[in-house]
Amino acid sequence: MTQPREADLPEAARARMAEIRSSNTWGSALSTEEFAAIRGVAFEPVGQVLGTAVFHIGYAGAWSCSGAWSASFGTDVSSNAWAPFSQLVRTMYAARRLALARAVAECRALGGDGIVGVKLRVGGFPAGGLEFTALGTAVRARSTIRPRQPFTSHLSGQDFAKLIHAGWVPTGLAFGISIATRHDDWRTYGQIRWTAGNQEVDGYTQLINHARHDARQQLARDAAAHGGDGVVVDEMELRVRERECPTYQNSRDHIAEAVFLGTSVARFHRSERPAGPRPLTIMRLDREQR
């Protein structure tokens, strides 16, 4: 996806960027503690940035069942191109990335080096569809070295400062999204009957494991694409629901949706650092014993 420029932003967003630049003032979503922490690592806020995208969700690829073509009625995950919900997951990625890219375009327009405290929200739009919003504070380093691409991070101001002190930098917000589906087969029905007693339901365990594993893999790939050495996870959501199978009458499918959100991080200082905080210098205040 081509990264939006300031000229590609909505007219209202361009007007807001021009107003901020002409006023020589900035706004932020930072608390007092966050502001102090960011300035303590030689960064300054340059303005609050916002990226939005409203998507109509039409065809989601959900009108099929893995049991329709799999003799084992096994679990299928959305990262497989022909799996149920694969089209929906691709749309979810595209919408989040577009909203985030528009926030980055605003950051670049304000001369920022990155965005901290990004809050990514998804909600219903009154006229239909889903609204994806990325809100954060653009910051700029007090340095002559500028990154090629502004970073994005969910980290608070305090956590961002801790990361810098430890020799790491954020490289980008990373996502891992997966929807796994499983048709309830004869074995699953046998394990959930009231006469079955206390036992593990193998199919449901497999469903959850597949969804989480696939989401973690997608998160790791996204973090690597940002050039990170690792990822600091912020959110891990898992939702499970059931539906009537669209292929087989009088049977059910179970659907697990896993969403991971984190910040990809990379080292900027390779030398060994002592573990824990640095020692503080203590000065006595008792005059008689100085």
Q: Is residue 282 part of a domain?
A: no
Q: Is residue 145 part of a domain?
A: yes
Q: Is residue 281 part of a domain?
A: no
Q: Is residue 167 part of a domain?
A: yes
pTM for the full model? Answer: 0.79
Does the pLDDT at position 272 exceed 70? no
Q: Is residue 59 part of a domain?
A: yes
Q: Is residue 3 part of a domain?
A: no
| Residue 121, domain extent | 26-268
Query: Residue 264, CB half-sphere, CA atoms under 13 Å: how many?
Result: 20
Rounded to an integer, the average pLDDT of 29-48 is 92
The pLDDT confidence band at residue 35, using thresholds 50, 70 and 90, is very high
Rounded to an integer, the average pLDDT of 70-92 is 73
- Tell me the CA distances in angstroms from 49 to 105, 108, 112, one per residue in order: 9, 10, 10
Q: Is residue 138 part of a domain?
A: yes
Contact between 206 and 126 under an 8 Å Cβ cutoff? The reply is no
Q: What is the mean pLDDT of the chain?
A: 82
Query: 143 Cβ partners below 8 Å, 6+ apart?
Result: 42
CATH number at residue 231: 3.30.110.70
Count of domains forming the chain: 1
Q: Among 17-21, 140-144, 268-272, which stretch is predicted with the lowest mean pLDDT?
A: 268-272
Amino acid 49: pLDDT: 93
Q: Is residue 222 part of a domain?
A: yes
- Cα separation of the two ends of the chain: 66
The pLDDT confidence band at residue 96, using thresholds 50, 70 and 90, is very high
Contact between 60 and 88 under an 8 Å Cβ cutoff? The reply is yes
| CB-neighbour burial class of residue 175 (10 A; exposed 0-12, middle 13-18, buried 19+) | buried
Under DSSP, is residue 169 helix (H, G, I), strand (E, B) or coil? Answer: strand
Report the DSSP pairing between strands 252-267 and 168-183.
antiparallel
